[in-house]
Chains A and B, each alone.
Chain A
Amino acid sequence: MLAVVGTIPDKEFPLTSGPVLLNDDHINIRDKAVNINRGTPALLAAAVETLKFMKKPNPVGYLIGDIGLGDGSRRLYKFLTENLKSASFHTITFHYLQPDVDWCNKVILTIEDMSQRPILIADAGFMYVAKMSGNATIFDLFTPDAGELAFLADEEAPHPFYTRGFILHEENLIPDLIKRAYIHGNAARYLLVKGKQDYIVDKDGIITVIDSPDEEALEPIGGTGDTLTGIVSALIASGMEISLAAALAAKVNRLAGYHAMPTPATQVSEIIKQIPRALEDVFNSRKTLI
């Protein structure tokens, strides 16, 4: 089963855990409904669609309201350290959380005590703190974009905001940045680097590059990275090998974007609606597409 840990951009949203359902443009958890237009709800919506296609159970969400003050994130971190040990998940995806090195270390120590070690995926704030805290290599998959890859590649930078210019300049040299991130121990076992081309890599180099369909208008659309992380998390939680899941997820996310006929003004909920069709496309003609 997949668990997703993240935040809701509403400071009043209480700490809530439980199975997540999808109803049109909202996810439902317990008695609460949240719009899927961005962030962790967009990730969860994409994961629900993918798990449904794979005939697997819905994800479990661990969610709390946080608008950047970090208070909600720290309560959620505390809850995880108190409750995760007795839980059992195949895969856990950590998403929009306030980076906090102390709490990240405590959560990882708790995971170490779980009876079965889950596959660990990190994106957004938890990917930042996994790198900051020196724990990147514990994770099985990170899903950075080009700017975040530069941050992973910069061994000095504590946050993408402080990435050094000479590394940011190398954005077009993605393979070099990947190598640098692994040399300094700041990458997960696998990386799914999302961008004009999606790279699936490990410490030995590039495994696959997915570059079609190429919809330039997807880049400015908030949430397209979240949907990719949701799809790959769901495929991995379904039992698929990580690098294959990453390649298929990249293809599905691109096709969902393509089917939405996007402009830079398109909202990610329109793309999420196309995920079932994109999954059909990819899995029905997998041999010719990958």
Chain B
Amino acid sequence: MDDYTDEYMDGLRLKGDPLADATVDALFTGGEVGRFNTLMRWFTTSGQALPEGLPDAARDYLEATTTPPDWVDWGVMEQARQFFIDNNVHISTALSFAAMPACYVIPHVSRLLSATHSLDYPARRMAETGQFTVYLMQPGAFEAGGRFLPAAQKVRLLHASIRRHLRQEGRWPEPVPICQEDMLGGLMMFSLQVLDALHRMGVHITPQGAEAYYYAWRVVGVILGCDPETIPADLQAARHFSDQYMTRHMGPSPEGAHLTRQLIEMYEQVVPGTLLDPVVPALIRYLIGDTPADWLEVPRSRWDSVIKIGPALLGALERFEDRGPWAAQLSDRLGHLVTMLELSSLTRGRVMHYAIPQELRADFGVPAPTARWTPPPPSHKAR
């Protein structure tokens, strides 16, 4: 299935996540959200016994979602983990400066982020997304002791609670906020569009690496409540879906421009000094292109043309890595250090808890060299 017509996509806009939505409704109806959050704060690893005194609805949900889908090929997941380790800095960069702006270029997604007040806390949302990805890529992430599944179980309920709040308060113009089309669209940004960005940065990717990385995100999509039948099966289908989703919705919005400014300012604070400040806008502009960058009001600077040499420098670095294991190890160590610094400066050492918000308060965020892979060309099936 890769014929993503407008009618098909419109159908996905009417669907939420029935299992998580029903759980959250039951928790709110029974007045049990506070108790649930308190008990779940200490539930962080797979295999841990569920806390005593959990509301029934929560217990049923947690038991139903405690294991990954049974069709998962763990060999491919291990390839994906290796791919992530080999490219950790590049993937973090692509997530921050290509995938996040891609979210912001969809006006209703930007409006959702601002409606949930996480607009003013981009660092928190980046930290939650970042920590989520780190949990995912730990060895044994899905086994007893892994932190990924409990985090995903909480994020899914967090999304369901936002659906409920926006619907109840009549603050959403459509029937379903965070609908299946948007969840799949988000999945495309973190998977295929990250690969697009890696390609543009000049990072060498093998076809197996690209497919494995996409496969891992398909598994994540199912765990986060996407309907398995609707997740594009491979990168080619993903190209069709992603292009169709983007061209259906992309455009300028004040909220998108505001979020982008917050993102840029956040990185200016993380990087010491002011000399390198224009690099971040230049990188965003290079990765997403001038038209979307103008929509998001990304400032222009003289760095815009300098940054284009970046891929050549990265190529030189990769050739350096090929000189031997010591060089690769040195480069890996540096990469690991940079990723950890990036993440810890965002989380400031805190652990993200993904609690269900009792109401839409200001203090919560939506998580929201031989064979070389090249992204599939633009989809002709997009309008």
A and B pair up? no
- Interface residues of chain A, those whose CB is within 8 Å of chain B, are none
- Interface residues of chain B, those whose CB is within 8 Å of chain A, are none
